[in-house]
C-alpha cells in the first residue's frame, strides 16, 4: 500500500503544503490515540465553558483544538488559523503562505457514547490582494488548495482532496502512517438513503418538508421507491457514508432561532465537505446556491447544506426551484 507523501508527490503538491498536511495528521494521530483510550485518558465529559458558537465544550474539543493550533503554528508555514473553538483567528508567521481553518472535533456530542467523531480541515493560500485578520479567510470554496477530514471510527481514516479527485487513507498503527486504501472515490449518482435530523422537521421550510415527506412516503409516494434514513449526529460520519455508498445529507435552515437559522459553518465545515463531494462527482448546494461559489462574510458564518449523490441533490433542488428562498442569514 502507498504512503501519503509519495501519493501527494505524484500529484505535484508543493513540499510546504505537504508539510502542513503532515502536521495536521500528526495532531490527528494524537487525537485518535486519546479517543481510543476513552475514559482511560481522563478527557471524556464536558467543561463549564461555551465556545463562540454558544455550544458547551467537551474536554476533548479543547485538547484537540490546542493540539492542532500549536502544531500548525510551530511549523512557521502557516500565516493564521481559524477554528470553531476560537473567537477570532490566531496569527502565525506573517510571511507564511498558508491559512488553515478547521473543526477540531466534529460531532463531539458522540464522544461520551463512543460514537464516531472527526476533524474537518481546509487549507487556503494567503490572497494576492491586501488583507488582514479575518479577511484573509474570506475566500470561496473554489479557492481551497486542499481539504479533508479525519474520521475517528473503528479505524482512523483520512479522506482528502488537493483538487485531483478524492482518496481515502487508513491509519496503520503498526507503522504510525496513513496508507492509501481507496484510490479514486466516486459517489454514485442515484441513491435510496438520506441523512437529516428529523427532530427539526416542524421548523423546516416548505420545500424541504415536502421533499423529505415524499422520501418517507416510499413506494406509495410520488418518488415510487423506498428510502432509508441514516443519521450519525456527526457531519464527518454522515458525509463519509455517502462518499462510500452514495446518499444525500442535508442540514437545512430552520426557524427555531432567527439569530442562528443554520447549524453548519461555511468556512470549516460546508466548504471542505463540498470540495470533497464535488471532486467525487457529487453536488453540494444551500438549496439555492452552489456552496463552493459562496463568498464568506465571516469566519463563523453558517449556511444550509444539501450534498451527496448528484441526481438526488438535483431532485431536492427542484423542490426549491419555484419557491422563493427563505433568506436566513446565519
Which residues line the annotated binding site for Mg(2+)?
Answer: 84, 103, 105-106, 269
The burial of 179, by beta-carbon neighbours within 10 Å (0-12 exposed, 13-18 middle, 19 or more buried), is given as: middle
Cell numbers for 213, please give them: 415527506
Among 13, 263, 25, smallest CA distance to 159 is for 25
| 98 neighbors 78 (Cβ within 8 angstroms) | yes
Give binding residues as ranges: 84, 103, 105-109, 197, 263, 269
Give binding residues for substrate as ranges: 106-109, 197, 263
| 15 neighbors 23 (Cβ within 8 angstroms) | no
Bridge-based pairing state of the strands 193-195 and 228-229: parallel
Residue matched to cell numbers 463531494: 277
Please give the Cα distance from 10 to 230 (Å, whole number). 36
User: What does the DSSP 8-state code read for residue 127?
Assistant: P
Residue matched to cell numbers 465556545: 51
Phi/psi class of residue 290: alpha, beta or left (left: φ > 0; alpha: ψ in -120 to 50)? beta
Rg (alpha carbons) of the chain, rounded to whole number: 19
Among 188, 191, 307, smallest CA distance to 252 is for 307
Amino acid at each position: 500500500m502507498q504512503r501519503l507523501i509519495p501519493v501527494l508527490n505524484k500529484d505535484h503538491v508543493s513540499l510546504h503544503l505537504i508539510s502542513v498536511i503532515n502536521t495536521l495528521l500528526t495532531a490527528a494521530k494524537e487525537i485518535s490515540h486519546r479517543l481510543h483510550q476513552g475514559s482511560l485518558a481522563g478527557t471524556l465529559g464536558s467543561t463549564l465553558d461555551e465556545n463562540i458558537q454558544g455550544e458547551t465544550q467537551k474536554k476533548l474539543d479543547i485538547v484537540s483544538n490546542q493540539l492542532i493550533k500549536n502544531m500548525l503554528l510551530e511549523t512557521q508555514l502557516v500565516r493564521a488559523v481559524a477554528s470553531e473553538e476560537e473567537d477570532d483567528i490566531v496569527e502565525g508567521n506573517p510571511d507564511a503562505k498558508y491559512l488553515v481553518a478547521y473543526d477540531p472535533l466534529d460531532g463531539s456530542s458522540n464522544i461520551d457514547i463512543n460514537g464516531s467523531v472527526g476533524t474537518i480541515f481546509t487549507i487556503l493560500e494567503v490572497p494576492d490582494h491586501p488583507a488582514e485578520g479575518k479577511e484573509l479567510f474570506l475566500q470561496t470554496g473554489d479557492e481551497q488548495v486542499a481539504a479533508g477530514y479525519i474520521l475517528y471510527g473503528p479505524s482512523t481514516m483520512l479522506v482528502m482532496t488537493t483538487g485531483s479527485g478524492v482518496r481515502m487513507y487508513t491509519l496503520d498503527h503498526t507503522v504510525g502512517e496513513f496508507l492509501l486504501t481507496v484510490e479514486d472515490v466516486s459517489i454514485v449518482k442515484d441513491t435510496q438513503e438520506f441523512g437529516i435530523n428529523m427532530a427539526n422537521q416542524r421548523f423546516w421550510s416548505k420545500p424541504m418538508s415536502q421533499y423529505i415527506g415524499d422520501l418517507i412516503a416510499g413506494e406509495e409516494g410520488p418518488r415510487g421507491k423506498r428510502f432509508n434514513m441514516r443519521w450519525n449526529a456527526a457531519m464527518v460520519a454522515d458525509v463519509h457514508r455517502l462518499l462510500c455508498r452514495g446518499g444525500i445529507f442535508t442540514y437545512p435552515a430552520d426557524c427555531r432561532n432567527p439569530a442562528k437559522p443554520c447549524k453548519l459553518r461555511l468556512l470549516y465545515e460546508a466548504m471542505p465537505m463540498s470540495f470533497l463531494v464535488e471532486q467525487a462527482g457529487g453536488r453540494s448546494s444551500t438549496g439555492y446556491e452552489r456552496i463552493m461559489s459562496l463568498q464568506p462574510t465571516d469566519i463563523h458564518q453558517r449556511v444550509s447544506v444539501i450534498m451527496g449523490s448528484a441526481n438526488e441533490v438535483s431532485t431536492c433542488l427542484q423542490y426549491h426551484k419555484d419557491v422563493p428562498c427563505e433568506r436566513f442569514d446565519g
